Amino acid sequence: MLSSIIDAFKVPELRKKILFTLAILALYRFGAYVPVPGIPFKEFADSFAGSGVSMTMLDLFTGGALSHFSVFSLGIMPYITASIIMQLMQGVIPAVGRWAKEGDAGRKKITQVTRYLTLGLGLINAVGYLFLFKSPAYGVVFSTAVPELLTDIIVVFTLVAGTAFIMWMGELITQRGIGNGMSLIIFVSIVSRVPSAIFSSVNLTADLGMGIAITALIIIVVVACIPAIIFVERAQRRIPVNYAKRVQGRKMMGGQSTYIPLKVNAAGVIPIIFASCLIYFPAQIAALFNIEWLTNVANAMSTGWINWILTVLLIVFFAYFYTSMVFNPEETADNLRKQGGFIPGVRPGTATVTYIKNVLHRVTLPGGIFIAAIAVIPSIIFFFTGNTLIQAFGGTSILIMIGVALDTMSKVESQLKMHNYDGFFK
């Protein structure tokens, strides 16, 4: 591992990408501590400390930016929500579905609409947070140096501009850095909360020794679960494929055997991110309207048995949904037929499509259930123990971190192999 990291920095092109990515992520973390103009920092921090569970979870995905009411308080959630909407629209609106099949030109159209939708959702969230923090529940008094209306406009504009800046940074990392920019931003947001969560866990009990022992036990359990998570993330179901021999010109082609790799968790970390965004979306709506019953619903969906059931169902649903979007059995079967390939014991054409679909469904289910269990079990433990380390370093967080880390390492490995170096995975 260490030698591979050293090799990565030996390649000038790869070194520039890594340093560029780190610089953008450092800029993002800096912005998470730059408060919005006109905010009484200490007063707001004290008010936020007594907020509900839903706000605490939203703060986790912003890397603490929301608890500081910084320029990046909205985090990456508006963009993720916009991406979910556009993904769903591909199967509902024919025009959007056609864009997805038009290659680069279609993807540019989808990206442009996603950007505008992100700004719209960011505006709604910004106005909601403004009303929420000015409500009697928080009672934050904004700066009185300028008229109240002007202060409100500055706050909303700053939050929306922060969302646009985060979106721009994520796209920059994707285009010029290493890995998926949006995923890395979420990764950094979660990791940044771990040190403070460890400190809180140690001081949770009056007995310092007991606090250290409990914290060490949690870390050991998390570390022990990492190999199992990586095993499932990289597990594959290989469908054997044979190619018939054929004469092409003066050469004999075909006669080879290969396989179609179907990942157990083909959707990666996307189902967890999508499920988390939808579950905590009511909390954002509750922040907009500041209605007591809506806030109670948001808190109920953010913790407890309702949250656990919804998390499992949504993760399994998005595992199937996203897998169906990234893998097309009809297209795979058609390519096999054109290249003279066939699955042993299965007739080409419709039978091959049906066979691949059945295998894909059987493989996706255990993968979806596994990641759902990893996401829910720590939430149940946190519900009964109240240990913040389990919340910050629990199922959803660890799955996102491992998924993003593996994806980034795979991209670095592909770059290393292009320059004749061994990768991370040997």
In this structure, are 45 and 188 located in the same domain? Answer: yes
pLDDT at 2: 60
pLDDT at 271: 82
**Cβ neighbours of residue 234 under 8 Å, at least 6 residues apart?**
263, 406
Q: Is residue 412 part of a domain?
A: no
Q: Which domain does 66 fall in, by range?
A: 1-192
Closest by CA to 45, choosing from 68, 25, 63, is 68
Q: Which two structure tokens, joined as six digits, stand for 374? A: 């990893």
Give the model confidence (pLDDT) of 69-122 as tens digits: 788 888 888 888 888 788 778 777 788 778 877 777 888 888 888 899 999 988
Q: Is residue 416 part of a domain?
A: no
In this structure, are 159 and 237 located in the same domain? Answer: no
CATH classification of the domain holding 325:
1.10.3370.10
pTM, to two decimals: 0.74
Q: Is residue 419 part of a domain?
A: no
pLDDT at 423: 56
Q: Is residue 321 part of a domain?
A: yes
pLDDT at 357: 87
Say how far apart CA 362 and CA 359 lie, in whole Å: 5
In this structure, are 61 and 127 located in the same domain? Answer: yes
In this structure, are 96 and 128 located in the same domain? Answer: yes
In this structure, are 179 and 226 located in the same domain? Answer: no
Say how far apart CA 303 and CA 381 lie, in whole Å: 11
Q: Phi and psi of 265, rounded to 5°?
A: -120, 75
In this structure, are 296 and 175 located in the same domain? Answer: no
pLDDT in tens, the chain (426 residues): 566 667 667 777 888 888 898 999 999 888 888 888 877 666 666 666 655 555 666 666 677 777 777 888 888 888 888 887 887 787 777 887 788 777 778 888 888 888 999 999 888 888 877 777 776 666 666 666 667 778 788 888 988 999 999 999 988 988 888 888 888 888 888 888 777 777 777 777 767 777 788 788 878 877 887 888 888 878 888 888 887 666 555 665 556 777 888 888 877 777 877 787 777 777 667 666 666 677 777 777 777 788 888 888 988 888 888 888 777 788 888 888 777 777 888 888 888 888 888 888 888 888 888 888 887 887 777 777 767 677 666 666 777 788 788 778 877 777 777 766 555 555
In this structure, are 260 and 332 located in the same domain? Answer: yes
Say how far apart CA 405 and CA 190 lie, in whole Å: 13
In this structure, are 243 and 182 located in the same domain? Answer: no
Say how far apart CA 174 and CA 253 lie, in whole Å: 39
Q: Is residue 423 part of a domain?
A: no
pLDDT at 138: 64
Instruction: Give 246's strand partners.
Output: 253
Locate tokens 């954002």: which residue?
284
pLDDT at 346: 80
- Read off the amino acid at residue 221: V
Q: Phi and psi of 241, rounded to 5°?
A: -135, 130
Structural contact between residues 74 and 411, judged by C-beta atoms closer than 8 angstroms: no
In this structure, are 116 and 213 located in the same domain? Answer: no
pLDDT at 421: 56
Q: How far is CA 166 from CA 80, 160, 162, 176, 312, in A?
A: 12, 10, 6, 15, 29
The 3-state secondary structure of the chain reads: CHHHHHHHHHCHHHHHHHHHHHHHHHHHHHHCCCECCCCCHHHHHHHHCCCCHHHHHHHHHCCCCCCCCECCCCCCHHHHHHHHHHHHHHHHCHHHHHHHCCCHHHHHHHHHHHHHHHHHHHHHHHHHHHHHHHCCCCCCCCCCCCCHHHHHHHHHHHHHHHHHHHHHHHHHHHHHCCCCHHHHHHHHHHHHCHHHHHHHHHCCCCCHHHHHHHHHHHHHHHHHHHHHHHHHHHCEEEEEEEECCEEECCEEECCCEEEEEEECCCCCCHHHHHHHHHHHHHHHHHHHHCCHHHHHHHHHHHCCHHHHHHHHHHHHHHHHHHHHHHCCHHHHHHHHHHCCEECCCCCCCHHHHHHHHHHHHHHHHHHHHHHHHHHHHHHHHHHHHCCHHHHHCCHHHHHHHHHHHHHHHHHHHHHHHHCCCCCCCC
- Read off the amino acid at residue 27: L
In this structure, are 228 and 179 located in the same domain? Answer: no
In this structure, are 142 and 235 located in the same domain? Answer: no
Q: Is residue 411 part of a domain?
A: no
Q: Is residue 418 part of a domain?
A: no
In this structure, are 183 and 252 located in the same domain? Answer: no
Q: How far is CA 286 from CA 206, 293, 347, 391, in A?
A: 36, 9, 54, 22
Domains contained in the chain, number: 2
